[in-house]
Amino acid sequence: MSETALSFSLVDLPRQLGSRKQAQVDWTVPEDLGTPSMAAPPGRALPLDVEFTSVDNRVLVRLRTEVDLVGQCVRCLDPVVRHHRIDAAEVYFDADSPAARAAGSHDPMGEEDEAEEVQFIGPHDTIDLEGLVRDCVVTLVEDRPLCSPDCEGLCQGCGEKWVDLPADHQHVSIDPRLAGLAVLLQDAGLADGDRDAAPGDAGADTDDVCGHAGRAASGQDQ
């Protein structure tokens, strides 16, 4: 729980069926309102509009607020902000109500029924709503927030966003263990280029020799 209390007194709420009480409060957002993936910015004022309605042996609480959840895109790391409206309701039972007695009892096997968690009015006729606010916020959190559904993420080579890079952007990655081999292959490629150029020059000399030989042969025939 946070250091800033979010409890409301019901002392001035008549317990006649249908009696109502309104409350508006600005609650300072604590450090951990949300999850590691998305959370409400701490320190901001969160306006809460709360309505309490008396029902038989219990109080119906309706809570309305609006909250911004901030996170980071899991692909490109850009900020992600989601605005949500919260409209929640919860029933809080009197401590001496039949529901409280039923919740305090266990089945013969000693197993608790966790299908439905019962909320109770606290000491001195107070209700703490921080748990309700937290539960509402957690259900809105995205486990893997995205800045947009088609986000392409970051280039693993340079860390730049793919959307900002040219279509032909790429990185040639060489295993350090093969770096020496890469140099040898590059040198071999240069050597092959030299050999490819040599036959052209030799061909010119050969043609010239063949020409002399041809003319010499012609002289012998004569």
Could you tell me if 193 and 88 lie in one domain? no
**Is the per-residue pLDDT at 213 higher than 60?**
no
Q: Does 156 reside within a domain?
A: yes
Could you tell me if 118 and 27 lie in one domain? yes
Q: Does 158 reside within a domain?
A: yes
Could you tell me if 100 and 155 lie in one domain? yes
Could you tell me if 93 and 113 lie in one domain? yes
Q: Does 116 reside within a domain?
A: yes
Asked whether 17 and 53 are in contact (CB, 8 A), the reply is no
Q: Does 26 reside within a domain?
A: yes
How far CA 130 is from CA of 48, 166, 200, in Å, comes to: 11, 49, 87
Q: Does 170 reside within a domain?
A: no
d(CA 194, CA 188): 10
Q: Does 16 reside within a domain?
A: yes
Q: Does 203 reside within a domain?
A: yes
Could you tell me if 143 and 180 lie in one domain? no
d(CA 53, CA 9): 13
Q: Does 29 reside within a domain?
A: yes
pTM confidence score: 0.68
pLDDT in tens, 31-72: 999 999 999 999 999 999 999 999 988 999 999 999 999 999
Could you tell me if 75 and 159 lie in one domain? yes
18 φ/ψ sector (left φ>0, alpha ψ -120 to 50, else beta):
left
Bridge partners, residue 66, by sequence = 85
Could you tell me if 106 and 191 lie in one domain? no
Count CB neighbours of 216 within 10 A: 10
* pLDDT value of position 21: 96
From 118, 137, 164, the end of a domain falls on 164
* pLDDT value of position 5: 74
What is the share, in percent, of the chain residues with pLDDT greater than 70? 72
What is the share, in percent, of the chain residues with pLDDT greater than 90? 51
Count CB neighbours of 10 within 10 A: 20
From 120, 135, 164, the end of a domain falls on 164
Q: Which domain holds residue 40?
A: 7-164
With H, G, I as helix, E, B as strand and everything else as coil, classify residue 174. coil
Domain count, the chain: 2
Element (H, E) at 180: helix 179-221
Could you tell me if 96 and 201 lie in one domain? no
pLDDT in tens, 119-175: 989 988 999 999 999 999 999 999 999 999 999 999 988 888 888 888 888 887 777
* pLDDT value of position 100: 61
